[in-house]
Amino acid sequence: MTFALAVCLLIGTALAVLMPVASEETVFKKGKTVIDASHTDQGYFMIRHRPFEKRIKVRVSLGKASLRYDLNSNGEFEVFPLQMGDGKYKVEVFEQVSGDKYSAASTISMSVKLADPNLPFLYPSQYVNYTAESDAVAKAAELCANSATDKEKMDAIIHFVVDNFSYDYIRAMEVQKETGYLPVIDSILAERKGICFDMSALVACMLRAQGVPTKLVIGFADKQYHAWNEILVDEKWRGYDTTADVANMRVKKYTVERVY
């Protein structure tokens, strides 16, 4: 499916939210690991590992670039984006031995040709995790009901977050003490508060559900570790930091480390 066709499917009386599917048309198996690569052209793959009593990590590489993730230990599929573009990806799975020590469990390679480079930023994934039934998806539809353009959708959703949310300083302190933290988007929406990671994931969810490609960016705001968004509007990626507005931050320089 081409990007243009995918966008066409979003147009109509009701917006169809793009959701990943493990259709098992193209499957790679190695040891305890299964990868469903049936829809890599749409910018994602799905991976599961046999249930394991300790932690599991995944490294996704393309050339010299790589990203690391935690993978659930219950044997269920999780969705990961192919945001590094076309090429031959290597997916490595590691099982925890003890503490910070891990052993290699499996390595799988797959060739990727995206239908459009923006597609990875229109689907949910581990960092921007939602379903078509999520409250945040419904809220996005409500906010954008009268929006005719992607710019209007962006403005409606960003204004909603900036006007209604507060920065969660307690959670910010707690997250520093734990590893593997992931936003729970509907909880963030209900609580009307969060850290930068939370608000960026919520914005990405709501805009993606409205058919607007949106990145969750992690890096540094000046010298502070931070998360924000880049939103594709009028064929141009625009950076926006809702947390900066919510928490009255003044940032002189953003340095990108990772994009999801």
Domain boundary at 93, 118, 143, which? 118
Note the pLDDT of residue 16.
86
Note the pLDDT of residue 14.
59
Residues 114, 139, single domain; the answer is: no
Report yes or no on 107 lying in a domain: yes
What secondary structure letter does DSSP report for 85? -
Domain boundary at 61, 87, 118, which? 118
Residues 75, 100, single domain; the answer is: yes
Looking at the structure of the chain, the number of domains it has is: 2
Report yes or no on 227 lying in a domain: yes
The CATH number that applies at residue 108 is: 2.60.40.10
Residues 100, 179, single domain; the answer is: no
Note the pLDDT of residue 10.
42
Report yes or no on 201 lying in a domain: yes
Residues 94, 156, single domain; the answer is: no
Cβ proximity of 53 and 39 under 8 Å:
no
Report yes or no on 40 lying in a domain: yes
Residues 154, 243, single domain; the answer is: yes
Residues 223, 140, single domain; the answer is: yes
Residues 85, 171, single domain; the answer is: no
Report yes or no on 193 lying in a domain: yes
CA–CA distance, 129 with 204 (Å, rounded to integer)? 10
Report yes or no on 27 lying in a domain: yes
Cβ proximity of 80 and 60 under 8 Å:
yes
Burial class (CB in 10 A: 0-12, 13-18, 19+), 136: buried
Cβ proximity of 69 and 60 under 8 Å:
yes
Residues 161, 78, single domain; the answer is: no
* Cα 76 to Cα 50, 55, 110, 127, distances in angstroms: 8, 14, 20, 16
| Total Cβ atoms within 10 A of residue 156 | 19
Domain boundary at 62, 83, 118, which? 118
Report yes or no on 127 lying in a domain: no
- pTM here is 0.93
Residues 108, 141, single domain; the answer is: no
Report yes or no on 232 lying in a domain: yes
Residues 19, 110, single domain; the answer is: yes
Residues 139, 247, single domain; the answer is: yes
| Domain of 25, in residue numbers | 3-118
Residues 81, 147, single domain; the answer is: no
pLDDT along the chain (260 residues), means of 10: 39 73 96 97 98 97 97 96 98 96 97 98 98 98 97 98 97 84 97 98 98 98 97 97 96 97
Note the pLDDT of residue 4.
35
Note the pLDDT of residue 180.
85
The CATH number that applies at residue 196 is: 3.10.620.30
Question: Which tokens go with 98?
Answer: 């003890």
